[in-house]
Amino acid sequence: MSVIQDQYRAKRVYEVTRLNGTAALRLSDRVVELGEREYGWYQKVVSWLPTVRGTSELSRELGIDEGKVPHFVEALVGSGLLYRVRVDDTNEKLTGLGFHSKFSGVLRSWLSEAFAHPFWERMMSGKGSARLFTGWLIELYHYTKNANRHMPLSCAYAHEKPIKQLRAKHYAEEWNHYHYFMKSLKALGFTEPQIAESVPLPMTLALSNFMRQAAHTDILAYSICSAVLEGTTTDRGTYNPYYQRSAELYGIPKEAVSPIYAHLDLDVQYQHSDLFQDILRHVPEMTSERASVVLSYGHQLVEHIWMWTDNIEKYYQIDSNPMPRRPFDIRVD
C-alpha cells in the first residue's frame, strides 16, 4: 500500500449526472463538473485507492508519469472529490452541538440517497399500483409497531439522566402510533386481526433490529438513526405529493390517507425532528472516533431505508405473493 493510498480517501458522491460530455458529481456541499476523460481518471483513482495495487499500476492505467500521480491526486483534493486523512484525527474533540451542525450539513444529501430508489419515481409516474401502495402501508404499520422493540431499549441503555428523560418522552409519545396505519389499512378493507397477526418483510424487521443494535452500541448512534427517520417527516411538502398522487393514480380512498396525514402532523407537532439537537446539548464533548461511529450509524440507517424500499417493491409487485403475510403454521401449511 502506497503513501497516497494511506493518506487519501474519496468523498461520498450522492449523484452523478452525465450531460453533453461532462459528468456532474453532487457532493453534500457542492457539485463538481468533470469532462468525460477526467471523470474516467477520477473513477480509476477512486477504485485504486482502497487496494494493494502499487502507484506504478495506477500511473499505467492513467497513462501519466508515476511522478505526476501525487499532483493529480492533489488536484482532486482541491476540487473536493478526495480528502486527506488527518493523522491527529483521533485526538480531535468536538461538542455535541458541533457534531449536530455536521449532521445537519449532510442530512439533506442523506435523505436524497435514502429516497433515490426507483420505486418512488415508479409510484409517482403512474407505473406503480394500489397493491404496491398497500404493501408499503402494511410494512409501515409493522415498522411503526416495532418501535416498541427499540425505543424502550434506547431508554434502558441511555446512561445520562437528561438523555434518558428525552428518549423516554419520545417513546411515550410514539409507542402506539401504529394505530394510525391500522386505521388506514382498515379503510382499505383489511380486518384488524389480519393485520395484527401478519408478519413483516425481512427488511422491515431489519430496520428495528438495526435500531436495537444501535441502542446497544451507543445512545448517540441510536439517536442519529432516530433523527434520520424523523428527518423524513419534518416537512409536509416532502410527503404530501406522494400521498396525493398515489391517491389519484391508484384510487386510494381518502379515509385510507387521512390517518397518515394525522400521524405525520402529530410528529411535526411534537417537534421530534429537534430531539437529536436537544440530546446533543447534553453532550459536552465527543472524540472524533465516537463521532465517526455515530455518523456511520446514521448513514447505515440511510442505506437501510433504500434497501427496505427495494424489499417492499420486490415482494409486493408479485401479485401471487400473500398480502398481508401470515406466519407459518404447521397445522395448515
Partner 1 sequence: MSQSSDLPLLRKGATVARANDTVVIRHLRDEITLEGAAARLFSRVEARLNGQTPIEAIAENFSEKPSRLRALFDQLEKTGVLAFLSARDDVLVSGMDFYQIHRQHCAVWLEPVYTHPFWEKVVSGTATRAQVIGFAFEKYHYIEAAFEHMGIAAANATPEMMPHLARHFIEEYTHGDIYRKGLRSLFPDELILRSQPLPSTRALVNYLNESAQRSSFAYYSGNELLQMTENTDDERAGGAVDEFYDAMRKHYPYTDKLIDSFIAHTKADQKLGHADAFLLMCKSVPPLTRREVNDALNVAKNMAEHLVLFMDGIDTYYEHFPIVPRRACDLTSE
Question: Residues 26, 122, 212, 281: which binds partner 1 (CB under 8 A)?
Answer: 212
Residue 19 or 332 with smaller CB distance to partner 1: 332
26 touches partner 1 (CB under 8 A): no
Residue 209 or 258 with smaller CB distance to partner 1: 209
Q: What is the DSSP string of 260-297?
A: HHHHHHHHHHHTGGGHHHHHHTT---EEHHHHHHHHHH
* Residues in a beta bridge with 22: 19, 35
Q: Which residue has the cell 485526538?
A: 91
106 touches partner 1 (CB under 8 A): yes
CA angle 115, 121, 124 (to 5 degrees): 115
Q: Position 177: which residue type?
A: H
101 touches partner 1 (CB under 8 A): no
Question: Residues 65, 88, 319, 333: which binds partner 1 (CB under 8 A)?
Answer: 333
321 touches partner 1 (CB under 8 A): no
In whole angstroms, the minimum distance from the beta carbon of 78 to partner 1 comes to 15
| CA atoms of 285 and 16, how far apart (whole Å) | 36
In whole angstroms, the minimum distance from the beta carbon of 207 to partner 1 comes to 9
189 touches partner 1 (CB under 8 A): no
Query: Do 218 and 158 form a contact (C-beta atoms < 8 A)?
Result: no
- Which has the closest alpha carbon to 105: 293, 231, 218, 279? 231
Residue 101 or 244 with smaller CB distance to partner 1: 101
What are the phi and psi torsion angles at 194 (to 5°)?
Answer: -55, -45
| Whether the bond into 322 is cis, omega within 30 of 0 | no
Residue 106 or 140 with smaller CB distance to partner 1: 106
In whole angstroms, the minimum distance from the beta carbon of 134 to partner 1 comes to 20
88 touches partner 1 (CB under 8 A): no
Q: Which residue has the cell 437529536?
A: 276
Question: Residues 7, 24, 26, 28: which binds partner 1 (CB under 8 A)?
Answer: 28
Q: Which part of the chain contacts partner 1 (CB under 8 A), choosing from 63-71, 206-214, 227-235, 257-265?
A: 206-214
203 touches partner 1 (CB under 8 A): yes
Residue 11, CB half-sphere, CA atoms under 13 Å: how many? 23
Q: Which residue has the cell 448512534?
A: 221
For the segment 290-319, give every residue that binds partner 1 (CB under 8 A).
291-293, 295-296, 298-300, 303-304, 306-307, 310-311, 314
Q: What is the DSSP string of 81-144?
A: SEEEPPGGGGG-EE-HHHHHHHHHHHHHHHHHHHT-SHHHHHHHTT-S-HHHHHHHHHHHHHHH
167 touches partner 1 (CB under 8 A): no
Residue 118 or 126 with smaller CB distance to partner 1: 118
In whole angstroms, the minimum distance from the beta carbon of 206 to partner 1 comes to 3
Q: Which residues bind partner 1 (CB under 8 A)?
A: 1, 5, 9-12, 28, 50-52, 83, 85-86, 89, 92, 94, 102, 105-106, 109-110, 116, 199, 201-203, 205-206, 209-210, 212-213, 288, 291-293, 295-296, 298-300, 303-304, 306-307, 310-311, 314, 327-333
